[in-house]
Structure 1
Amino acid sequence: MKKTILIVEDEDILREIVKDYLLNGGYEVLEAADGNEALSLFEEHEVHLVILDIMLPEVDGWSVCRRIRKSSNVPIIMLTARSDEDDTLLGFELGADDYVTKPYSPQILLARVKRLIESRYSTKHRKAAEDALASCGIDVHFPSRTVRLDGEMIRLTHTEFEILTYLMQNPGIIITREQLIMKVWGYEFTGDDRTVNSHIRNLRHKLGMKANLIVTVIRSGYKFEAKR
């Protein structure tokens, strides 16, 4: 089944260019020119990924992202013409999975879409023993991409889920930021350590009392340290 991408972009020409690339890439496409239209389309259709411009009329991209994250962990790529790193970090704090600064290459955007789609919705066969992962009260179910903390469901974004499971699959092993970036993003990284730190901070917040399971190793990276 084709995956559906929602493009939220108020510049008609740019939206059409991105639409053409996505259609040629084999995706179904929904289009919105403002935040209210985007939220209506998201509620009415099954959307597998959102490409979301920040500077939108009526309801801005940050507000749209915040609203979507209240009910869904669908991957979100945010677009902006602003290069301020604080804007980028705010997007991540609201739950965005990726961030692209204008002007950008449509081919690169398509590659990022494919990466997130394949990672999020992969149907590759798993052995039954690999369907689940559990440690220290954290239970992961890979087919449904759900996480329970002491029996209670917690909602993670795509990126947070990837970071957590990668660390849990390598308990006690220091994972460098470079390894984390290649595993989770899978392409040439244009951010800095603050981008990775922002995702880790969000993940720790959602883990609550279990946040100390993710240990920062100064000047090295992170590791999942199971407590006995």
Structure 2
Amino acid sequence: MTTIPNTHLLLIEDDLELAQWICDYLTEKSFTVSQCHRGDRAPEQIIGLNPDLVILDGMLPGLDGLDVCKQVRSKYEGPILMLTARDEDMDEVLGLEMGADDYLTKPVRARVLLARIRALLRRHVPATPAPDLPQSSERVQIQGLQVDKSTRTVTLQGQAIEVSSKEFDLLWLLAKSAGELVTRDYLTKSLRGFEYDGFDRSIDQRISRLRKKLGDDPVSPFRIKTVWGQGYQLIRDAW
């Protein structure tokens, strides 16, 4: 894959020697790379620069990388690749729960880093309005949950629930098929525009955020259930 000219990456890493090595390597591969070395400055840099991709270290001075990811995820829609010095499943789970798109353990191997970056950029598709649904008044009412396509609003027990555009599109597809399995392949194709490749975690991340906003239990979800290896199911009698 040839790098698209002017693809802008933001590297957030406090190890100056490592940061310079990564910067030099990626610059050689035709990326434009900006650097930030403190976690407490990272959210402003991410939002202000709006890069095509963020490489985010997990351990940073001023603000932990996980907290940086949590702060910016609702405002920054590009992919986030997290780096960590620890090889533990819990670190990966936490990073993905906070909204990271992928996870790479140090020591960083140049070709692996490049492959992950290119894969994330290849999978990332800017949000566009769903073309397959008419813009007339469409509404799904499931007990206390109401999802209104015409106004793109969600209410639960009469209370408005703030969701992002991407979260709404996902919830709409689940609500239309409430009680039925909606496969990850279908969701990825409908919402991302390509077939599920076994690695893309964007749908899982949206599910995680929706569960939190809809009062679902992230450990034992009862409103949006995971059908392992297949997809998700919105439970009709859980609202």
TM over 0.5, yes or no?
yes
Q: TM-score scaled by structure 1?
A: 0.65
- Say if 2:114 is the partner of 1:101: no
Q: Distance in 1 between matches of 2:92 and 2:45?
A: 25
Q: How far 1:72 moved relative to its partner?
A: 1.6
Q: Distance in 2 between matches of 1:157 and 1:92?
A: 20
Q: TM-score scaled by structure 2?
A: 0.62
Q: Among residues 138, 147, 150, which one is paired with 2:147 in the alignment?
A: 138
* Conserved 8 A contact 1:139-1:147: yes
Q: How far 1:49 moved relative to its partner?
A: 4.1
SS in 2 for 1:31: strand
* Conserved 8 A contact 1:6-1:50: yes
If you compute each CA radius of gyration, which structure gives the higher value, 1 or 2? Answer: 2
Alignment deviations for residues 131-158 of structure 1 (CA, whole Å, 9 cap, x no partner): 99753312468xxxx9632273524596
- Say if 2:62 is the partner of 1:50: no
Q: How far 1:14 moved relative to its partner?
A: 1.7
Structure 2: where are the runs of 5+ without partners? 1-5
Q: How far 1:106 moved relative to its partner?
A: 0.7
Which of the two has greater helix per residue? 1
Structure 1: where are the runs of 5+ without partners? none
Q: Among residues 83, 89, 109, which one is paired with 1:85 in the alignment?
A: 89
* Conserved 8 A contact 1:88-1:99: yes
Q: How far 1:53 moved relative to its partner?
A: 1.6
SS in 2 for 1:175: strand
Q: How far 1:34 moved relative to its partner?
A: 2.5
Q: Distance in 1 between matches of 2:139 and 2:101?
A: 24
Q: Distance in 2 between matches of 1:89 and 1:29?
A: 27
Residue 187 of structure 1 aligns to which amino acid in structure 2? D
Q: Distance in 2 between matches of 1:21 and 1:157?
A: 33
Query: 1:16 aligns to what?
Result: 24
Alignment deviations for residues 96-144 of structure 1 (CA, whole Å, 9 cap, x no partner): 233333443412322112312x1xx155883672799753312468xxx
Q: Distance in 1 between matches of 2:172 and 2:7?
A: 24
- State percent identity of aligned pairs: 30
SS in 1 for 2:44: helix
Residue 81 of structure 2 aligns to which amino acid in structure 1? I
Alignment deviations for residues 21-72 of structure 1 (CA, whole Å, 9 cap, x no partner): 462xxxx643222223423323433445433121223432112123324x62
The size of the alignment, in residue pairs, is 210
Q: Distance in 2 between matches of 1:21 and 1:132?
A: 49
Q: 1:43 to 1:122 in 2, by over 3 A?
A: closer
Q: Distance in 2 between matches of 1:132 and 1:73?
A: 30
* Conserved 8 A contact 2:13-2:60: yes
Q: 1:66 to 1:105 in 2, by over 3 A?
A: closer
* Conserved 8 A contact 2:59-2:84: yes
Residue 41 of structure 1 aligns to which amino acid in structure 2? Q
Query: 2:154 aligns to what?
Result: 149
Query: 2:120 aligns to what?
Result: 112
Query: 2:224 aligns to what?
Result: 214
Residue 13 of structure 1 aligns to which amino acid in structure 2? W
RCO greater where, 1 or 2, for CA within 8 Å and sep 6 or more? 1
